[in-house]
């Protein structure tokens, strides 16, 4: 199974969760984008370069929070709310980060619960040999 097939699978599953999910990207902690997908006919507000910049910022912020895990527990996600959208950063079991943007018209809590449930059950960012199922 190639990486592209794995990423296509997680992206399709994520976008099937809710119609208000606009964009998703998986990046490693070095800032390399491993996969991206956007809902068809969605007006993306950021360029590719802007997305890379946002990912770099998210990675730095995520790494800075890790030093407090022993006191407050591991981070589940962060949420940034903007006038036009919401952006969630979610750690995957593989150590990679999932960035998801959501329309403001949807139920944020319910959508995030669906996404968290999905990434806790299926982390397609691991190598095929890492799967036990």
Look at residue 22 and give its three-state secondary structure.
strand
Per-residue pLDDT, 133: 37
Q: What is the pTM of this model?
A: 0.79
CB 119 within 8 A of CB 90: yes
Look at residue 88 and give its three-state secondary structure.
strand
Above 50 in pLDDT, residue 127?
A: no
Q: Which CATH class is domain 3-130?
A: alpha beta
Count the Cβ atoms, other than its own, within 10 Å of residue 52: 16
CA distance 30 to 24: 18
pLDDT tens-place string over residues 7-61: 778 888 899 999 999 999 999 999 999 999 999 999 999 999 999 999 999 999 9
Percentage of the residues of the chain whose pLDDT score is greater than 70: 83
> Which residue do the tokens 């996969």 mark?
35
CA distance 107 to 103: 9
Count the Cβ atoms, other than its own, within 10 Å of residue 70: 8
Give first-to-last CA distance, the chain, whole Å: 14
Above 70 in pLDDT, residue 76?
A: yes
């Amino acid at each position: 199974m190639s990486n592209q097939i794995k990423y296509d699978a997680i992206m399709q599953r994520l976008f099937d969760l809710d119609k208000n999910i606009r964009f998703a990207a998986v990046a490693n902690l070095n800032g390399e984008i491993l996969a991206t997908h956007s809902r068809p006919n969605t007006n993306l507000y950021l360029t590719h370069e802007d997305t890379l910049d946002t990912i770099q910022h998210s990675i730095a912020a995520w790494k800075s929070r890790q030093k407090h895990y022993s006191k407050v527990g591991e981070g589940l996600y962060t949420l940034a709310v903007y006038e036009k959208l919401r952006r969630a950063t979610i750690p995957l079991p593989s150590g990679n980060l999932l960035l998801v943007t959501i329309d403001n018209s949807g139920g944020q809590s319910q959508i995030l619960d669906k996404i968290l449930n999905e990434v806790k059950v299926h982390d397609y960012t691991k190598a095929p040999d890492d799967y036990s199922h």
